Amino acid sequence: MFTATMWCDIQLGDVASLKMKRSVVRPIVAELRRRYDVAAAEVGANELYRRTEIGVAAVAATAGQAGDVLDECERFVAGRPDIGLLAVRRQLFSHTDEPPREEDSPDG
């Protein structure tokens, strides 16, 4: 089992208030959830009305499947004419990954 995450830094187009920002971001997040069966949410830049950060997470049987889902999600976001995709960061986790050792943890 693989869990893949993606973080998107997005610049919004002609947005002049937080209310207008919500009217742009909410449909994107909802469509990601509906179309690709992923977890998606606005995860940052909440106080800025022309920027947002959207996080996406997917679970799949293989790393390739997880990557394919994130590829589709990235193409969907990048293809929106009303926004600009500034940066994307991805991570892939496997159920066989070792948990952090005690000396590696921030509390240890």
CATH no. for residue 65? 3.30.70.1120
The whole-angstrom separation of Cα 38 and Cα 105 is 29
pLDDT in tens, 3-26: 999 999 999 988 888 888 898 999
Select the more confidently predicted residue: 107 or 2: 2
The answer to whether 59 touches 3, Cβ cutoff 8 Å, is yes
Does some domain include residue 16?
A: yes
How many domains would you assign to the chain? 1
Structure confidence at residue 100 (pLDDT): 59
pTM over 0.85: no
Q: Which domain holds residue 6?
A: 2-95
pLDDT at 16 (0 to 100)? 85
108 occurs within a structural domain: no
pLDDT tens, position by position, 31-55: 999 999 999 999 988 788 889 999 9
The answer as to whether 102 is a domain residue is no
Q: What is the model's pLDDT at position 33?
A: 96
The answer to the question of residue 10 being in a domain is yes
pLDDT tens-digit map of 51-107: 999 999 999 999 999 999 999 999 999 999 989 999 999 999 887 766 656 665 555
Domain-located, residue 8? yes
In-domain check, residue 105 = no
Please report whether residue 103 resides in a domain. Answer: no
Residue 43 resides in a domain: yes
